[in-house]
Structures are given as structure tokens and as C-alpha cells.
A and B are shown apart, each in its own frame.
Chain A
Amino acid sequence: GAGVSQTPSNKVTEKGKYVELRCDPISGHTALYWYRQSLGQGPEFLIYFQGTGAADDSGLPNDRFFAVRPEGSVSTLKIQRTERGDSAVYLCASSLLGETEAFFGQGTRLTVV
């Protein structure tokens, strides 16, 4: 596709369960970012990939959160032992190396019940 694709668009899970959120960046974009947007807030940075490696994971809130990008394209954000406070919209963005414009997906709305 032409844009950043995120799946699923909505995910409802029970407290304590494990979830995976997927991001397909724009083809050829080497930089990939994950953000989290809680209700009434702006997006907050979680992690940044340059190629396959996590160049900056300073925004991950705790060790329940982990992200991978094994082939330098698709990325998966993984959340273990989900808590109600993890409920938010998780946004993915991608960009070309050195470019300042990041293109955002529509997000995955995660609800932990």
C-alpha cells in the first residue's frame, strides 16, 4: 500500500494477557517510530528503529513493552501482562533516513478490560 498500515485497527484484551501490534511502514522507509496516544493527550514517543536495530528505546514505559523489526521493514510492538493503564491508541510512523517528515498510520486502539 501507499501509506503506513497498522493492524489490527482495534484490539480488546483482558488484563494480564499478551498482545502484539503490527506496523507495515512505507516501502523503503528505514526509520520507524512507535508512539502511544492516551485519551486527551498528544502522542508520546516509545521507540525508534533505524533499520533492524532499536536506536532509541527511551520511551518504553517498562519491561513489559518490547518491539522488534527483524528484517528492517515490518515492526511488531509486544506488550506482556497488559494492564488497564495500557489502554491507548498506538501509532506507528515511518520516514526516509535523514528526512524530517514522518508519515503516520491510523493507529491501533488497544482496550484492556
Chain B
Amino acid sequence: AQSVTQLDSQVPVFEEAPVELRCNYSSSVSVYLFWYVQYPNQGLQLLLKYLSGSTLVKGINGFEAEFNKSQTSFHLRKPSVHISDTAEYFCAVSESNFGNEKLTFGTGTRLTIIP
């Protein structure tokens, strides 16, 4: 079984400051890793994903994440945030098993941008 831990339930950040949202996972098999964003009153949208290859992945809206196998982490970063980044961010994992890509999600981190 796999699990995802997002230690920070809320992160307030000043506009144009950098941000890091932490994600750690646990799994006994190889995994794929994802970050989803949920804007107010909207559905989940994929920000970025790690499947294999380069451990640094870039996503939409200037976000990036780094896969660290030894620390079982997949932290999300952005060098300069904007008001429009205010949202709930979910880290998720799936087993790298063709045919069933069900996701296990963390509890989410609410990012609030302070003007």
C-alpha cells in the first residue's frame, strides 16, 4: 500500500516570494508522482508529474518539483508567487503499473498569497 504525507496544511506567502510545498510518500513499489491544483470552485487540474528520467520536472504556471528517491520526497516549488496561485495543492502517487492509474492523494496544502 502507498501513502502520501503533506505536512503543511496551510502555507501563507507574500506575493513575489518563493514557495515550497512539501510532499513525502511511502510505497513498496515503483511509483509515479503528481501535483494537482484545485482553484476555488473548480475541479482538480494537473500541475506536473514525474514518471521517470530527469528528477526535476517542470509544470504549468512556473511550478517545478524534484523527485528525491532516497528521501522519498517530491516537493513543489515556485520562485515567485502571484495572487492567482492561491489554491489548494494536492500531491498524489500511483503505482507504475500499466492499466490502473488510481491515485492516492495527500490531505492537501492550502496556499494563500498575501498582497
Contacts and interface: CB of A to CB of B under 8 A. Distances in A.
B54 to A, nearest CB: 16
Contacts of B6: 42
Majority secondary structure of chain A interface residues (helix, strand, loop or mixed): loop
A40 B6 CA distance: 12
A110 B102 CA distance: 22
Contacts of B53: none
A50 B101 CA distance: 11
Given A31-B101, A48-B100, A55-B99, A100 B51 contact: yes
B74 interface: no
What band does the interface of chain B fall in when counting residues whose beta carbon is under 8 Å from A? 20 to 34
Contacts of A104: 36, 43-45
A91 interface: yes
A45 B42 contact: no
B42 A106 contact: yes
B87 interface: no
Nearest to B9: A40
B73 interface: no
A41 B107 contact: yes
Nearest to A6: B43
A43 interface: yes
Nearest to B110: A40
Contact of A42 (B46, B100, B108): B108
Given A43-B90, A99-B101, 8 more contacts: A40-B107, A42-B4, A42-B106, A48-B100, A50-B100, A91-B44, A102-B101, A106-B43
Interface of B: 4, 6, 32, 34, 36, 41-46, 49, 51, 90, 92, 94, 98-108
Q: Which 4 A-B pairs have the closest CB atoms?
A: A42-B105, A104-B44, A106-B43, A104-B43
